[in-house]
Amino acid sequence: MNTSIDWQSRLKALGPGLLWAGAAVGVSHLVQSTRAGANYGFALLWVVVVANLFKYTAFEFGPRYAAVMGESLLDGYQRVGKWALVAFLIPTFGTMFVLQAAVTIVTAGLASKIFGTSMSPLVWSAVILAICAGVLTIGKYRVLDKLIKIIIVILSISTIVAVLTAFGHGSSAKVDFVPPHLWNVAGVSFMVALIGWMPSAIDISVWHSLWTIERRKETGSAPSLADSLFDFRLGYFGTGILPLGFLSVGGLIMYGTGESFSPSGSKFAGQFITLYTSTLGSWSYPVVAIAALTTMFSTTLTVTDAFPRVLKRSTELVFPNRYDGKDDRSLYWIWMAIVLGGSLVIIGLFMSGMTLLVDLATTLAFLTAPILAYINYRAVTGPWMPDEGRPGPKLLLFNWVSMIFLAGFALFFLIWRFILN
């Protein structure tokens, strides 16, 4: 039996997994991971590792389902039952404007800091969203696919350089610094928010499945399950390593210095660059700036594509009589206009308190994680799933352990936060 790996086939299948990585590395990595390091040093390193570990199966089931069934996870949710689709759409509607606004305002703040213009963060946000919409209008999936591959390479290289530089610099903590207490309301609440979007919210598994199907349409080829999982794992484990880098840089450079991040998304972006370069030296400005801007732009671009794509397919499933078998592209643009317009309103109204909104959105993602993980499990183990595509017994066992951990931690947080405190 020939067990050799067809690397040409594997490399040809690359795309959806890297798009998933581009969507995941934004707020959870640059903002939350850096805040974790700056506020608590390396005390939350285990949280990052555990979150990536126990969310693996829920995310893996997205490309698995799409590769085997030739349809998105949303279609799988419909097969599980309408309740599953509703359970997915509730947190989607609850977070889509905040998520789009959060990634956009941080990107706008970075662009303003780097290019030194006098435009307001709101205007910069509108410009960035217009650029993203323009890229998607001109090139659709194909340009998005190629652009993200370039951005991921730049991001990886610049982040590695920043981390190595930070370790060479050593800790910046003051001698008389007193570490903050982790197991209090503020500490546990931040821990929950960190887990919520680490490496990302589980509903993004749906995005991955939709990109897998779109790639099939664009290329005319259907990657095997093995090729699709290789693409996913490359992106997933890459996004699992990057937050460790951002947390390390935050812990080595900012932890114990007395500096704190502004709750304003635009001011946070400026602080992010200024604090790094003031400690590492002015020579590091291009490295830090490129790493930060490419991280956030890749996230903004993929999020700008993902929500309209999700809502388009959801609309088709909710109203099957009207859209039966039709691929109405206008739905995509209608939902994009709604999401981008709503996010600009959020930016205009809550610009100074963006980190609070991010914490609320990430907490909602944390609390709904076990529910969505269970629905993904039901989708890939239902009677419609061919035997050759079903997860093996070891993966299913680990999935149950992961779901129990996510559900148990969510229950602990609710009891601890609202009953014991």
Asked if residue 365 lies in contact with residue 196, where contact means CB atoms within 8 angstroms, the answer is yes
pLDDT for the residue numbered 86: 92
Confirm if 89 and 74 have CB atoms less than 8 A apart.
no
- Please tell me the distance from the alpha carbon of residue 292 to that of residue 296, in angstroms, as a whole number: 6
pLDDT in tens, 366-400: 888 999 999 999 999 999 999 989 999 999 999 99
- Residue 34: predicted pLDDT: 85
What pLDDT does 322 receive?
77
Q: Pull the structure tokens for residue 154.
A: 């730049």
Model confidence at 109: pLDDT above 50: yes
The mean pLDDT value for 74-96 works out to 92
Tell me, what's the pLDDT at 140? 62
- CA dist 115 → 95, 119, 220, 270, 367 (Å): 30, 10, 41, 12, 39
More confident residue, 47 or 140: 47
The span from the CA of 307 to the CA of 204, in Å, is 10
Cα–Cα distance for residue pair 9/223, rounded to 1 Å: 8
Between 153 and 199, name the one with better pLDDT.
199
Question: What's the pLDDT score for residue 391?
Answer: 95
Instruction: Among 94-98, 257-261, 312-316, 333-337, name the one with the lowest average pLDDT.
Output: 257-261
Mean pLDDT value across the chain: 84
Set out the domains of the chain in order of their start, with CATH numbers.
Answer: 7-418 (1.20.1740.10)
Q: Is the per-residue pLDDT at 162 higher than 70?
A: yes
State residue 173's pLDDT score.
Answer: 67
402/173: higher pLDDT:
402
- 36 pLDDT above the threshold of 80: yes
| Residue showing tokens 């946070």 | 268
Number of CB atoms found within 10 A of residue 280's CB: 21
- Return the pLDDT at 390: 95
* Cβ count near 324 (within 10 Å): 8
Does pLDDT of 230 surpass 70?
A: yes
Distances from the Cα of 382 to the Cα of 35, 169, 314, 375, 397, angstroms: 40, 53, 20, 10, 16
**Buried (b) or exposed (e) across 200-221, using 16+ Cβ within 10 A?**
bbbbbbbbbbbbbbbbbeeeee
pLDDT level of residue 1 (50, 70, 90 thresholds)? very low
**What are φ and ψ of residue 97, in 5° steps?**
-70, -40
Per-residue pLDDT, 250:
83
